[in-house]
Amino acid sequence: MKELEERIKTDGIVLDDDVLKVGGFLNHQIDPKLMKAMAVEWHELYKDSRVDKILTIEASGIAMATMAAYEFGVPLLFAKKNKTANISDDVYAAEVKSFTHGVTYNVQVEKKFLHKDENVLIIDDFLARGEALRGLIDICGQAGAQVVGCGIAVEKAFQPGGDMLRKNGVRIESLARIKSMNSQNGIEFC
Ligand code: 5GP
């Protein structure tokens, strides 16, 4: 998606050659027009699939996934990274190692919000090693829900997550795919 690639080029900051900071428009300060354009794009890509629910993981996936859910006319469900007092014990859970924080979260979704035979589209901001998607797919499997596919804003194609999931038959649609990046030479898209 040209608009997202342009924005990454102008406002993205490459950190340590494997982390891209997009806090100016995507996951700290948020550009709603760009989120809306991304949602329209995912809707176009998945318009032939039945989608009953959008699933993401807190926190930075929520804004774009909300826009996508609005576009599809379905609810947005987000997996919580930590157990809080207002979440029941009746949950589907999966361990997810965070790429950016290095810690392992026990990611949870309340059973009453995810049902057998629902068709789920998973949305997230980044795809790196595929841990977050693997955890969300696992949670859908526990519920007996089908994963229609995944919509990703930025896939770092030089990291293994995308290839690994595609090999396992998961449909991944990434709006920007980064071939390589470093703080000296900038960002090259696939
Ligand atoms: P994965 O689970 O695929 O290894 O990593 C994806 C998750 O880690 C995303 O939910 C995202 O929040 C975070 N992440 C991975 N790489 C980056 C990155 O380069 N920049 C930012 N801002 N977040 C990232």
Write the pLDDT tens digit of every residue in 84-125: 766 777 999 999 998 888 899 999 999 999 999 999 999 999
Q: What pLDDT does residue 85 have?
A: 66
Helix, strand and coil in the chain, % to nearest 5: 30, 35, 35
- Minimum-distance ligand 1 atom for the alpha carbon of 61: 10
Q: Are the C-beta atoms of 23 and 11 separated by less than 8 Å?
A: no
Local structure of 172: helix, strand or coil: strand
Longest dimension (CA), the chain: 49
Question: What is the whole-number distance in angstroms between the Cα of residue 135 and the centre of ligand 1?
Answer: 13
Please, how many CA atoms are within 13 Å of residue 96, restricted to the half-sphere of its CB? 29
Note the helical H segments in the chain: 2-11, 32-45, 62-72, 131-143, 161-167
Question: What is the whole-number distance in angstroms between the Cα of residue 85 and the centre of ligand 1?
Answer: 27
- Minimum-distance ligand 1 atom for the alpha carbon of 132: 2
In the predicted model, residues of the chain with pLDDT beneath 70 are: 85-86
Q: Are the C-beta atoms of 160 and 171 separated by less than 8 Å?
A: no
* Alpha carbon 119 to chain centroid, angstroms: 16
CB atoms within 10 A of CB 67: 24
Query: In 3D, which of 8, 62, 72 has the Cα closest to residue 40?
Result: 72
Tallying the residues shown for the chain, one arrives at 190
Please, how many CA atoms are within 13 Å of residue 9, restricted to the half-sphere of its CB? 11
Q: What pLDDT does residue 82 have?
A: 80
Q: Model-level pTM greater than 0.85?
A: yes
Q: Whose CA is nearest to atom 5 of ligand 1?
A: 128
**Per the structure block, which two tokens stand in for 77?**
């469900």
